[in-house]
Amino acid sequence: MDRLDTIRTLSIGMIILAAIPGCINHLDKAAAAALNPVDIKEWQVPWDQTRPRDPYVDQQQRVWFVGQGGDYIGLLDPEVGQFHQFKLDPGTGPHNLIVDKEGQVWYAGNRAAHIGKLDPATGNITKYSMPNPQAIDPHTLIFGMNRNIWFTVQQGNFVGYLDMATGHIHLTPLPTPHARPYGMVMDTVGSPWFTEFGTNKLGNIDQKTKTVREYSLTRNEARPRRLAVTSDNVIWYVDYAEGYLGSYNSQTGQIQEWPVPGGTDAKPYGMTVDGQDRVWFVETGCTPIASSASIHKLIRSSVSPIFPAAAEPFAIWCITTRHTPFGSAPMPTPSAAPKSPKNSLWVPASLPR
């Protein structure tokens, strides 16, 4: 589990016409104009030192997030800027959440060994405890097929799924010790993929047998953290340890990697794919510019299928702030509901320790 400190701001990068002053765009002028530069809008979270993270946009275009350090589920109405808080038990340490089609909010009780379900209409919470005492820290949740919720258990070294209808939880231990399964996504055919942050591997779960297959990356030092999937079913990942964006073609086994603009200290973290198959990620390594400010970067990759022959692989927008963006919500594709307001990319921001 990450050990960042105080967090107070939700930061939103939107695809609109105003460029951020002082930032560099590596694409040529024609390509840059087609992209529409990014503007950053922020809402001040009213609960200090609670580390809000992992926003999720629901069917009503509201933004849900967890307060990992404050043991709550938060809700933002971005139209009016209003926040609401749902309290969780002390020590829950929620890590992320997802919202189903019925509006039920599912969260990972990262420090309390359970997955929880919040009914926003009543405030009632149902808990589903991990069936193995070693599965101490459910981490990242995603929706799968057949009303299953798939998830990683980082320190416990499991992946698993919860049957939403019955509440039954099935856990699968990983073959690699101390693999630290972290980020997780569903590919285009409904198969879960995850990163192993403690080693240089990606993992995949066979839907029929529920067994795990592991795929080693080219560099032993790589530590993949988050991942995303484009419409051609290519798996994209960021290497947090050495500063790379990579892709894994599950059909051919081909691995491709590109050094990110920030270099080996860039610490790329949160990532997503937009409706045009463009890969976005954030660099959380700091470039200090003053005693109270740093430059962080929102990056859009041009090596995804829409720009396969781009001369420059990245477009860069700088975020000048005391906070570090460290995660991102999925940007829905045109066929996926709900559609995020103005096709925005939601990024939480945290003050580094």
- Say which residues have a Cβ less than 8 Å from residue 32's Cβ, sequence separation at least 6: 25, 315
Distance between CA 239 and CA 303 in Å, rounded? 16
Phi, psi of 51 (to 5 degrees): 55, 60
Q: Which residue has the tokens 């419409």?
A: 231
Q: Omega before 338 cis (within 30°)?
A: yes
Q: What pLDDT is attached to residue 50? A: 94
3-class SS letters over 266-305: CCEEEEEECCCCCEEEEEEEEEEEECCEEEEEEEEECCCC
Distance between CA 3 and CA 352 in Å, rounded? 9
Residue 323 DSSP class: S
pLDDT mean for each 10 residues of the chain (353 residues): 35 30 42 57 91 93 96 96 97 98 97 98 98 98 94 98 97 98 96 98 90 97 97 96 96 95 92 88 70 57 52 66 50 36 47 33
Q: What pLDDT is attached to residue 16? A: 25
CA neighbours closer than 13 Å in the CB half-sphere of residue 235 = 31
The CATH class for the domain spanning 9-350 reads mainly beta
Q: What pLDDT is attached to residue 162? A: 98
Distance between CA 12 and CA 176 in Å, rounded? 37
Q: What pLDDT is attached to residue 209? A: 85
C-beta separation of 353 from 3 below 8 A: yes
Chain centre to alpha carbon of residue 269: 8
Q: What pLDDT is attached to residue 124? A: 98
Q: What pLDDT is attached to residue 321? A: 52
C-beta separation of 352 from 5 below 8 A: yes
